[in-house]
Amino acid sequence: MLLLAHTTTTPRASLFHDQDDLHRNMLLRNLLLQFYGECGMLDATHALFIQWSHDVYSYNFMISALAQTKRHMKILNIFYQMLHEAVCPDRVTYAAMFSVFALVSRIEEGRFLHACLIHCLQLSVATAIIFMYGKLGSLSDAQLAFHHICEPDVVAWNCILRVHTDKQNTQEALALYGRMKLEGVAPDQVTFISLLSAFGCISDLHVVQEIHFELVCIGMDAHIKVMNALLNIYAKLDSIETANAIFAKMPDKSVTSWNIMIGVHSRRNEKEKSLHFYYRMSEEGFKPDKVTFINVLPAYFPQDALRLFDSIIDVDVVLWNALLSSFCFHRKSCQAVQIFYQMQEEGVLPNGNTFMIIMSMCSSEYMLSIGKRMHAVAANRLKDDITTSNSLLNMYGKCSSMGYAQNIFNSLFDRTVVTWTIMLTNLTRHYGFAEALLCFSRMVLEGILPDRFVLATVLDACLGIVSLNMGMYIHVQILGTGSKLDAVMGTALLNMYGGCGCLRAVEDVYDQTHGKNTICCNAAIMALAHHGQAHNAFDLFELMLANDIAVDSSTFLGLITACSHGGLIDTGIFFFHLMQITYSLYPTDAHLDCIVDLFGRSGQVKESLAFIDNFHGNPTVLTYRTLLSTCCRTPNAFSAWAAYRALTLEPDDEGCFFLLVNASTKYSCDYLFSEDIE
CA distances for 32 relative to 11, 27, 43, 89, angstroms = 12, 9, 13, 20
Contact call for residues 562 and 537 (beta carbons, < 8 A):
yes
Per-residue pLDDT band for 71 (boundaries 50, 70, 90) equals confident
Output the pLDDT for position 179: 92
Task: Count other C-beta atoms under 10 Å from residue 109's C-beta.
Answer: 16
* Poorest-pLDDT segment among 25-39, 336-350, 466-480: 25-39
Cβ atoms 454, 443 nearer than 8 A: yes
The Cα–Cα gap between 62 and 39 comes to 13
Q: What is the pLDDT of residue 395?
A: 92
Residue 46 pLDDT greater than 90, yes or no:
no
For residue 480, the SS3 value is: helix
Q: Where are the alpha helices (DSSP H) in 446-588?
A: 452-464, 468-480, 487-499, 503-512, 518-530, 534-546, 553-566, 569-581
pLDDT of residue 662: 54
* Domain extent listing, the chain: 607-678
Task: Count Cα neighbours of 257 within 13 Å in the Cβ-side half-sphere.
Answer: 22
Kindly give the interhelix angle for 271-283 and 255-267, rounded to the nearest 10 degrees.
160
487 SS3 class: helix
Rounded to an integer, what distance in angstroms lies between the CA atom of residue 320 and that of residue 10?
A: 40
- How many Cβ atoms from other residues are within 10 Å of residue 608's Cβ? 25
pLDDT tens, residue by residue, 426-446 = 999 988 899 999 999 999 899
| pLDDT of amino acid 642 | 53
Predicted local distance difference test score (pLDDT) of residue 243: 92
DSSP per-residue codes, 406-470: HHHHHH-SS--HHHHHHHHHHHHHTT-HHHHHHHHHHHHHTTPPP-HHHHHHHHHHHHHTT-HHH
Query: What confidence score (pLDDT) does residue 529 get?
Result: 93
* pLDDT the model gives residue 579: 92
Q: What pLDDT does residue 677 have?
A: 41
Name the pLDDT band for 136 (thresholds 50, 70, 90): confident
How would residue 678 be classed by pLDDT, with cut points 50, 70 and 90? Answer: very low
Greater confidence, 641 or 199? 199
Residue 227: pLDDT over 90? yes
Please write the tens of the pLDDT for every residue from 576-596: 999 999 998 888 888 877 887
pLDDT of amino acid 622: 61
pLDDT surpasses 80 at 204 = no
Q: Where residue 5 falls among pLDDT bands split at 50, 70, 90?
A: very low
pLDDT of residue 262: 94
pLDDT average, residue stretch 615-642:
58
Distance in angstroms (rounded) separating the CA atoms of residues 292 and 281 = 10
Nearest to 122 by CA among 105, 158, 98: 98
Question: In this structure, how many other beta carbons lie within 10 angstroms of the beta carbon of residue 353?
Answer: 18
pLDDT at residue number 676 = 42
Mean local confidence (pLDDT), 159-172: 88
- Give mean pLDDT, residues 336-344: 91
Q: Is the pLDDT of residue 312 over 60?
A: yes
Q: Which residues contact 99 (CB under 8 A, 6 or more apart)?
A: 67, 128, 131, 132
Stretch 97-111: mean pLDDT:
87
The reported pLDDT for the residue numbered 668 is: 47
pLDDT digits (tens, 9 = 90+) for 485-531: 888 889 999 999 999 889 899 999 999 998 888 999 999 999 999 99
Which residues, 6 or more positions from 249, have their beta carbon under 8 angstroms from its beta carbon? none
| CB atoms near residue 203 (< 10 Å) | 22
Provide the pLDDT for residue 560. Answer: 92
pLDDT digits (tens, 9 = 90+) for 253-287: 999 999 999 999 998 888 899 999 999 999 999 99
Average pLDDT, the chain: 83
The DSSP secondary structure of 592-616, one letter per residue, reads HHHHHHHHHTTT-HHHHHHHHHH-S
